[in-house]
Structures are given as C-alpha cells and as structure tokens.
Amino acid sequence: MATVSTLKQGGTGAGLGNFNTKQPGVVSVRLRGADAADAKGSALAANDLIQVCTIPAGTTVGFATLNVLTADTGTTLTFDLGDGSTADEFVDGADGTTAGFAAQGTNGVFSQKILYTSADVLQLKVVTASSANDDWEVEVLFEVTDYNSKPRPQSAKDAG
C-alpha cells in the first residue's frame, strides 16, 4: 500500500482554498490513473491511497460522489472515496471499469455530510486493481462549506 500525493498543482498544495468556489459550493477534482502512477513511481496497486485535497478544520464536506469519466481497460478496478479516518466514508466499491456515476447507497452515500473539526484529507482508495491499466480518469464531486471564512454573512441577531 502506498499513499500517493497528487496535491501539488502549480507549485502549491491542492487544498480547498485552491478552488474558486463560492461558499457553500460544489468542488470538482479530476484524477487520472496515469498521473497517480507517475507520482507513485510505479503502477497502482490494491490499497493505494490517492490524495484528492486537504480539508481544513471547521469545514463540512458532503454529498460526495465519484464519476468515472474514462473507464479503465483492465478487468477489475474498484474505488472507495473517504478521508483519513474512514476510507469508504462517501463511496464504497465503485467500479472503475464502467463509465458513469457511482450509484447511491452502498456505492455512493450521497446524503452523508461531515463537519471536520480537525484537518483531514479527502482520498480515493484503489480497493482492487486486478489487471488494471491505470488508463482511467475520474471526477470527484462534493459540496463544501468553510465555516472559517470571513467575513461571515450577518445573522438576524447581528442586524441593527
């Protein structure tokens, strides 16, 4: 098992602050198997973790899903999408050899929303990679709200 960092984009870490998303908003991150294999230095294997982005403390992430844009031409490839605590927090066992969105339920817990009280990392786990060719491309989509952003909108209590 290896943890593959794909967080370096343009010389900076790819955290949520790197995305031009109004809060709350939807973030889209595309990952390619060939890029992850290059970052690792060898072919991807079962249990490899590909870092999607950093999640700062005080941020909610929810409604996460996985869209396979280009299916892997190998025979078996499955993904989980989760964080540093639970590898399949959002998506469990998505088929990387079939294009399309991960199904809701066991393969896409779309309604899950988490408030991160400490920093974490959103990551894609290669669960199985039997005869995978690393020629896939996926899009990770999720909604984010940063409760640390300033200025915060006024509440009714603030209005004078």
Residue 17, helix vs strand vs coil: helix
4: pLDDT confidence band, cut at 50, 70 and 90? confident
| Residue 20 lies inside a defined structural domain of this protein | no
Q: What is the pLDDT of residues 124-152, one digit of tens each?
A: 999 998 877 899 999 999 998 888 766 55
Q: What is the pLDDT of residues 15-53, one digit of tens each?
A: 455 444 455 688 899 999 999 999 999 999 999 999 999
| Residue 19 lies inside a defined structural domain of this protein | no
* Phi, psi at 21, each rounded to 5°: -120, 125
Three-state secondary structure of 101-113: ECCCECCECCCCE
| Residue 98 lies inside a defined structural domain of this protein | yes
Q: What are 44's two structure tokens?
A: 């991807």
Residue 3's pLDDT is what? 74
| Residue 8 lies inside a defined structural domain of this protein | no
Q: What's the mean pLDDT in 103-126?
A: 81
Number of compact structural domains in the chain: 1
| Residue 54 lies inside a defined structural domain of this protein | yes
CATH number, domain at 127?
A: 2.60.120
Is the pLDDT confidence value at 156 over 80?
no
Q: Which contacts qualify for 118-121: CB closer than 8 Å, 24 or more apart?
A: 118/57, 119/54, 119/55, 119/56, 119/57, 120/54, 120/55, 120/83, 120/84, 120/85, 121/51, 121/52, 121/53, 121/54, 121/55, 121/83, 121/84
Residue 49's pLDDT is what? 95
| Boundaries of domain holding 29 | 25-146
Q: What's the mean pLDDT in 86-98?
A: 91
pTM for this one? 0.82
| Residue 34 lies inside a defined structural domain of this protein | yes
Give the span between the Cα atoms of 39 and 33, in whole angstroms: 10
| Residue 30 lies inside a defined structural domain of this protein | yes
Give the span between the Cα atoms of 59 and 159, in whole angstroms: 25
* Phi, psi at 13, each rounded to 5°: -70, 140
